Chains A and B, each alone.
Chain A
Amino acid sequence: MLTLHCPYCGIQADETELAAGGEAHLKRYGPGSSDDEFETYLFMRENKKGVHLERWRHAYGCGKWFLAARDTATLEVYGTYAAQTSEPPVEVKAAIRAKHPGWTWKEQA
């Protein structure tokens, strides 16, 4: 059972307090987008053994959404950060690359 640091409460939250929300940094495509764009937005998800950026909500705490960079194989957490970003902050990227040199995430290479 994981623990993640809630960037809003500042506490190490137990997984029972959290709700998982799937992949982070999705770009929404609405009316006017192509079928390919919409399909990618709605259905195409990463399923990595390794670094994953994901959405979590401190559902039974402050109720805030935040993002986490986590290794799905070793369960190492490289950092949690605000949801109002389009890519992980510099220090989280550095923590990831320290363990996974040359790591990139989709278009946020």
Chain B
Amino acid sequence: MSTRLQNAGRLIDRSKPVEFSFNGKRLRGYQGDTLASALLANDQMMIGRSFKYHRPRGVVASGAEEPNGLVNMGQGGYFEPNQRVTTQEVFDGLTATSQNHWPSLEFDIGAVNQLFARFLPAGFYYKMFIHPRPFWKHVYEPFIRQSAGLGKVPQERDADTYEHFYHFCDVLVVGGGIAGLAAALKAAKSGKSVTLIEQTADWGGRAVVDGVQIDGQSAADWVAATLATLGKMANVTIRSRTMAAGVYDHGYVLAYERLTDHISDKSGVRHRLWRIRAGHVVAATGAIERPLSFAGNDIPGVLLAAAVRDYVVNFGVSVGDRTVVVTNNDDAYRTALALKEAGLAVPAIIDVRPSGAGPIGQVAERAGIRVLKGKAIAKVKGKTRVTGVQVCLQAGEGSVLEEIACDCVAMSGGWSPVVHLWSHCGGKLTWDDDQAMFRPDAARGPTGADGKVFVTAVGSANGHLGTAAILRDAGLDATTNEVAEAAIEPVWMMPQGAGPKLRMKAWLDYQNDVKVSDVQLAAREGYESVEHTKRYTTLGMATDQGKLSNINGLAILSQALDAPIPAVGTTTFRPPYTPISMGAIGGAARDAIFQPLRRTPMHDLHEANGVDWEPVGHWRRGYAYPRAGEKVHDAVNREILNVRENVGLLDASTLGKIIVKGPDAGRFLDMLYTNLMSTLPVGKCRYGLMCTENGFLSDDGVVVRLADDTWLCHTTTGGADRIHGWMEDWLQTEWYDWQVYTANVTEQYAQVVVAGPKARQLLQSFGGDLDLSKDAFPFMTYVEGKLGEFDARIYRISFSGELSYEVAVPASQGAAFWQALLANGQAFGVMPYGTEAMHIMRAEKGFIMIGDETDGTVIPQDLNLGWAISKKKADYLGKRAQERSHMTDPKRWKLVGLETLDGSVIPDGSHAPAAGTNANGQRNTQGRVTSTYYSPTLKRGIAMALVLNGLDRMGQEIEFQNDKGGLIKARIVDPVFYDKDGAKQNV
């Protein structure tokens, strides 16, 4: 059984016991424990079940590479699935539950899958769920959804808070082992700003576990002293529990700091995402031990050798009383010796190498450990935990030589450098045949803005496994106590000639249940690329991203393909190194500050008036102003009729307002707009269209000539920033010798549309120095002056078809002006109206709306706006494009109005079907609706549509689709439905 030892445990504080729960059981641990060590201390060997076969699984590793130990953590708003027990520190009150089983961890129905394992091979999903087609939707997908997924989905809103940090440094050192510390010290002494981060809570990495001596000091003392030196330097920033998640272009690094995951008090920020711009990145990320592929290597109690050592040395936890060590290298002997020292039994070291280990082999034998050379494990015995191993020859096919009883197997297949950070941004790897590992190829690193390599891998991350070599790589020459080691013997399958039965039980990817036999099957079926094999078998696609399985898997693939390992290559290393929380990615950008809201000066007044908001760009605009108990649609109709009969107010502050000024401003606007703006007299307004260079209509609005050299261009609400950018683009990069300034003054003014037969009376009631009479202030002109106490610029323009004024006042006066309009307007029946009323009224007048009548494929000529295109101008943006044959094709659909025969409303986006089908077998069409509304003025459905030969079909009937699969008959009419002569707006 696994248990807590009396002594040992360098990381736990036995004076600080903590209580936590696992699957409802109250358990005890110590401060400093990981959840994994605390569970093992309580003999909780089995922690979860695998994804596909629901096999019982226990921890395999002691760090970030752990594939099995995933649990649901926390409760309510603090619940989160798939938390790794090996990196989760215990705290008082921690609650965790196991995943992927039903009804319980010990008894699981899904485990029946393993009985059918031979029918669930690689690519099972692709092979099984293809036919018959209708089964996918109704049978297969619901079934897969039911059985897929590891953890549970959180049901409540995340109660934690998160934040981002922006950070800059000359050198970022990732990894707090001896290589990282040495590298950080060297960089810091040179005066550079250095940031040192370590993913775990403690420092020193493997060296402090393995009893390394550096310059006569214990590694623990050396680490403490070095850390203290660094801590005193002003140019050094140090963070533990901070993981470098990814390295990106030009030295950009994301790091993930966990602030409250290890404590009971959850009141502070939980995770902090560091957005680091580093001049240079030092990846001292260490190495990860590889499992060995033998039958039964997934049974709880089979762990990586170094993990078994970690649990004893760091946490005082023995995984088993009797541990068999199986290895192809010298390092695992350290585990055997550590266990012996802790008073535990090591019945045997099974070493595949016929000549065994270097000097450490004799140390082991002197300690009384039996070393079996040239041997291997044929099979691990046991179901929910290890009960023994069968020993065989590594060179053979698995004939059992003897059986050894044990309750733990410590395996080591060698070490793989953690090359993720090196590789994220394009660093290439080289295969080291002697050490049987991929390591960074220094000549082909990721390059930065200056063309130089900006990541350096040091220490074991760079393929150095000896202490002295690691320190030298990090820039420190030191004497150490290390002894020579015998070479590793690469072993990818155990035993070498294992038959199908053994291979079907030899796991590569524990979490996704990928076995040696699956990869071999993929190779037989023609999957030669490692990237394809990965996706076909799901090898390395689990939440651990193949940290344990990838190298073994591709070695198996290379054997099956009879190609050398470097020719097969690795899959792509992508960020993040280990999963980071969605909360950390979002940071503080949540709720109201997810996206800043733009508010007009009258925003709060509308809100108090019960407005129904509509998002328009980053603004909120009032869609309608429903009264208590009134439906929105009824409010819209009321607002329209009131504008038509009395007077209405529309907050138009969001409309873009761009000042264009300078000696060449007129010439510039003539290029920008399709019509002539240079000839517009001072004091007058003109409607204008802007097109892209491709000829398509892009924006529209009223242009005002404010002075001889100054124009004011109104744009659509959503177009203000885009059009301002468009102007700047042409001014800066094409006509940069033209003397023109632009300024986007959209937010400097509050603008109110005062529209309706009583609009003039309402404005006149303010008093002031302006003559607003019909003759003094005609249509399409503007005046400037005092309107009562307000500083007003009034444009007499109309988008509703009524007598209409747009009044601009300084933004600071906007709220007061709106309130004054409402107060003064009482006598005239004033009501605010929203964007929907505005839309319907403009459609009644046949005015186009950018985004409704246009969609990026419509030219002004399609909308019968030829009158707004200058024939005199030699050039304007889009003119050349509009001369192309397709643009002048008489078959282009033209804008028309539609009146439904039965008065109903045609659905938005409806198409008019035509006879026959196109090349894709789709029904031909002859038109589509661009705007469609119920008109309260006309008391019927009206629409605007683009229709083939539309202008020649006035008065004819055409059929559009309704939303029930049928057709609606409509008559093609002039799109101006209301007051064709403009009598109402010209009063």
Binding site for B on A (CB under 8 A): 1-4, 14-15, 19, 21, 28-33, 35, 38, 42, 55, 57, 59, 63-65, 71, 74-77, 83-84, 99
Cβ-based interface call for B694 (8 A): yes
Complex contacts, A65 vs chain B, CB 8 Å: 728-729, 732-733
The reply to whether A30 and B277 contact each other, CB–CB distance below 8 Å, is: no
| Nearest CB of chain A from residue B891's CB, rounded to whole Å | 20
Complex A-B: 30 CB contacts under 8 Å: A1-B248, A1-B249, A1-B250, A1-B252, A2-B249, A3-B250, A3-B449, A14-B277, A19-B725, A28-B734, A30-B879, A31-B874, A31-B875, A31-B879, A31-B883, A33-B880, A38-B881, A42-B694, A42-B881, A64-B732, A65-B728, A65-B732, A74-B451, A75-B249, A75-B250, A75-B449, A76-B447, A76-B449, A76-B451, A84-B736
Cβ of A34 to closest chain B Cβ, rounded Å: 10
For A3, A57, A75, the residue with the greatest tally of chain B CB atoms inside 10 Å of its CB is A75
Compute how far the CA of A28 lies from the CA of B734 in the bound complex, rounded to whole angstroms.
Answer: 8
Q: Which residues of A contact B693 (CB under 8 A)?
A: 28, 42
Q: Can you name the residue of chain B whose Cβ is closest to the Cβ of A83? A: B733
Bound together, the chains give a CA A28 to CA B736 distance in angstroms of 14
B10 CB within 8 Å of chain A? no
Chain B residues whose CB sits within 8 angstroms of the CB of A19 once the complex forms: 725
Question: What residues make up the interface of B, taking CB atoms closer than 8 Å to A?
Answer: 248-252, 277, 447-451, 693-694, 725, 728-729, 732-734, 736, 874-875, 879-881, 883-884
Q: In the assembled complex, which residues on chain B have CB atoms less than 8 Å from the CB atom of A3? A: 250-251, 277, 449
Known: A2-B250, A84-B736. A63 touches B451 (CB 8 A): no
Point out the residues of chain A lying under 8 angstroms from B447, CB to CB.
Answer: 74-76
Q: Are B252 and A84 in contact (CB under 8 A)?
A: no
- Chain B: CB-nearest residue to A39: B884
In the complex formed, the residue of B with least CB distance to A76 is B451
Interface pair B884/A35, CB less than 8 Å apart: yes
**From residue B451, how far is it (CB to closest CB) to chain A in Å?**
4
Evaluate whether A84 and B449 lie within 8 angstroms (CB atoms) in the complex, with A3-B277, A38-B880 already known. Answer: no
Asked if B880 contacts A63 (CB within 8 A), the reply is: no
| Complex alpha-carbon distance, A79 and B147, angstroms | 54
Taking a contact as CB atoms under 8 Å apart, the answer to whether B880 and A76 are in contact is no
Minimum CB–CB distance for A73 against chain B, Å: 9
Decide if B277 touches A55 in the complex (CB within 8 Å): no
**Chain B contacts of A38 at CB under 8 A?**
880-881, 884
B residues in contact with A28, CB < 8 Å: 693, 734
Complex formed: what's the CA distance from A33 to B884 in Å?
A: 11
Q: Nearest Cβ distance between residue B851 and chain A, in whole angstroms? A: 22
Say whether, besides A55-B733, A84-B733, A2 and B449 are in contact (CB < 8 Å): yes
A64: chain B residues at CB < 8 Å are: 732
When chains A and B are docked, how far (Å) is the Cα of A54 from the Cα of B448? Answer: 18
Q: A1-B250, A30-B875, A76-B451 are in contact. List 10 more A-B contacts (CB 8 A).
A: A1-B252, A3-B250, A28-B734, A30-B879, A31-B880, A57-B729, A74-B451, A76-B448, A77-B449, A83-B733
Residues of A within 8 A of B248 (CB): 1
CA distance A107 to B450 in the complex (A): 27
Which residues of B lie under 8 Å from residue A29 when comparing CB positions?
A: 880
In the complex, chain B residues whose CB is within 8 Å of the CB of A57: 725, 728-729
Interchain residue pairs A-B with the least CB separation, the first 9: A76-B451, A1-B252, A65-B732, A83-B733, A84-B736, A77-B449, A74-B447, A30-B875, A3-B250
Smallest beta-carbon distance B299→chain A, Å: 45
- Contact across chains for A21 and B729 when beta carbons are under 8 A apart: yes
Docked pose: A75 CA to B636 CA in angstroms? 55
